[in-house]
Structure 1
Amino acid sequence: MRLIPKLVSTIPTMVIGFSNQSINWIARNGDGWRLQYPRSIIQQAQLIQDYRALTEVHAPGDFKHFSQSLFIDLSENPDEIPVPIPLGYSVGRNRLVDLLHQCRSKHACASHS
C-alpha cells in the first residue's frame, strides 16, 4: 500500500493503557503513554518514575508523554474531601485544588513531571 502524499515524518504511536505489553515495551516502542487509569498518588508517581527511567534508557533525552483520565464529580460543598468513584473522585473544589497540588508535587499527575 502507498500513502499519498508521502509522510514527511513518522506518525506518533501512543500506547493506550498497557495494551497487553510490559512497561519496558511501552517505553521502548511508544511515543507516549495515554489514558492510564487513576491510581493512588504514590502508585501513580511510582509508575511515572519507572516509565521515565525506561524511556531515558531507550530514548535518551526524548520526552515521551504520559497522561491519565480522571473523572471529577464536583460537590456543591467546596470543602468536601475526595471520595473515590469509578475512575476518579467526588470532591469539593477546594479539596480538588489541594489534590491536584499534591499530585503535582509527587509527580503523579502532571504530564511533564
Structure 2
Amino acid sequence: MPKKFQGENSKAAEARARKGKVAEDERLRKEKMAEDKLWEDNDKHILKKLERQEEKEKKQQEAMQKKLERDKLLEEEMNSIKGAKNAAPAKVTRAHIDATLERERLAKIGV
C-alpha cells in the first residue's frame, strides 16, 4: 500500500528555514564585526589629537557663551540707565533752589 503523504512536512521545513536564517544572520554579524575590527583606528596619537581638538572646541563654545551673556547683561544695564535718563526732569522753582542752597550752607557750618 503506497504512502498517502507524499512531499515534505511543512512545519519541519519552516523550522529548518528559521534555523538556517538565524544561523546566516549570526554568521553575517560575526563577519561584519571582524571587518569593523580590521578597519578600527585605535592609534593613541590620533585619539589624543582628536580629544584635544574636542576640548578646544568646547572651550571656544563656552567662551562664546560667556561673551554673549556678558553682552546681554551690558545691554540690559544700558537700557536701565537710558530709562532713568529719558525721564523728564521735574521743574525746579526758585524757592526749591533757595531751600537746597540753605540746606547746603547749614551742612557746611555744621548745624
Give the TM bin, normalised by the shorter chain: under 0.3
TM-score by length of 2: 0.19
Give the number of the structure with larger relative contact order, counting CA–CA contacts within 8 Å between residues 6 or more apart.
Answer: 1
The structure with the greater share of residues assigned to strand is 1
TM-score by length of 1: 0.18
The structure with the greater share of residues assigned to helix is 2
